Amino acid sequence: MSDATGAKGTDTRGTDTRGREGNAAYGKKPFKRSTSHFTDRITADGRDGWPVEAGRYRLVVSRACPWASRALVSRRLLGLEGALSLAVADPIQDERSWRFTLDPDSRDPVLGISFLSEAYDARETEYPGGVSVPAIVDVPSGKLVTNDYQRITLDLATEWTALHRPGAPDLYPEPLRDEIDEVMEGIYLDVNNGVYRAGFATRQSDYERAYRDVFRRLDLVSERLAGQRYLVGDTITEADIRLFTTLVRFDAVYHGHFKCNRNKLTEDPVLQAYVKDLYQTPGFGDTVDFDHIKRHYYMVHTSVNPTAIVPLGPDLSGLLDPHHREELGGRPFGDGTPPGPVPAAEVVPPAGRP
């Protein structure tokens, strides 16, 4: 989730802004992230006017974005592919931000729009903020429902249960929610958001503070995971999803591009094994597209990388190597089962050598 001043105002919420004018501001002004603007919820009882309903909504993501990737993982694990359709934006934006140039005629085949901003404008005319993913759009009206990246996945886990696949895991178990929330808060402040505070810092002191926060928290997480397979309890939870989507990008973009370079993830045996374990778990690695990730970060953040050259490395094929985390016990899906095969239209290339 990148932040800058966009063509229609200041975006401090999500990935990303309205266009390359906004992208050029990355790293040129103090970094700050605020809450999402559109926070309506899609719930079982429809209390915000948006009831859970199969086929009614479309999830818009960029595979480059760690915040959107949370929703991709949750949707797969819960088996919501048939109930919540998927639109994937081009990782490279133009002056109107996220666009559907990966689709025939550069138009989303379900929403009939060329830019995600059209759904934002349908919801609020002349909305001054940025255009962020993940976003959920109401298909019948074409209006944006929510861009609340912190809430979307929690609601997929707890409000969409009637549409979950048989054997779907409980990603936000009620007895563990307080602990999950506490763990996620620290990870959000210091890791999920911390890498951005480092990468887009405009002052040396701000960068150094963020850098230290990132690695202090990663050291604590590594210590926690040395003796247990997952962050909370003995199954995969929302906390693991939120940590994974940052860690899987760490060596590819955050280590070099965002200067979080005390060490690579491959140099921390615990965290590397943890990421390999999750990457090889159905629903995680099969949603990750390193080509989208690298091209977005290195080509869009031109103030950080003015040449827009995309590095060939690192070698990511090690993510497919044995991890031995199963020796710690744990049950990835609890009493449930793994998700089924990836729909053919959503298959992404596996990690590999440059």
Sheet strands (E) in 9-72: 9-11, 57-61
What's the burial of 306, exposed, middle or buried (CB within 10 Å: 0-12/13-18/19+)?
exposed
The single residue listed with the structure tokens 């390999």 is 276
Tokens of 187: 């990870």
The single residue listed with the structure tokens 């060596």 is 251
Residues near 347 by Cβ (< 8 Å), separated by ≥ 6? 286
- CA of 42: how far to CAs of 147, 151, 225, 268, in Å? 11, 10, 33, 39
DSSP 203-218: SHHHHHHHHHHHHHHH
Task: Please give, one letter per residue, the 3-state secondary structure of 160-178.
Answer: CHHHCCCCCCCCCCHHHHH
Query: Among the options 196, 254, 279, 298, which is catalytic?
Result: 196
Q: CA-to-CA distance for 22 and 5, rounded, in angstroms?
A: 5
Query: Among the options 26, 57, 65, 230, which is catalytic?
Result: 65
User: What is residue 48's three-state secondary structure?
Assistant: coil
Quick check: is 65 catalytic? Answer: yes
User: What is residue 145's three-state secondary structure?
Assistant: strand
Quick check: is 196 catalytic? Answer: yes
Residues classed as catalytic: 65, 196
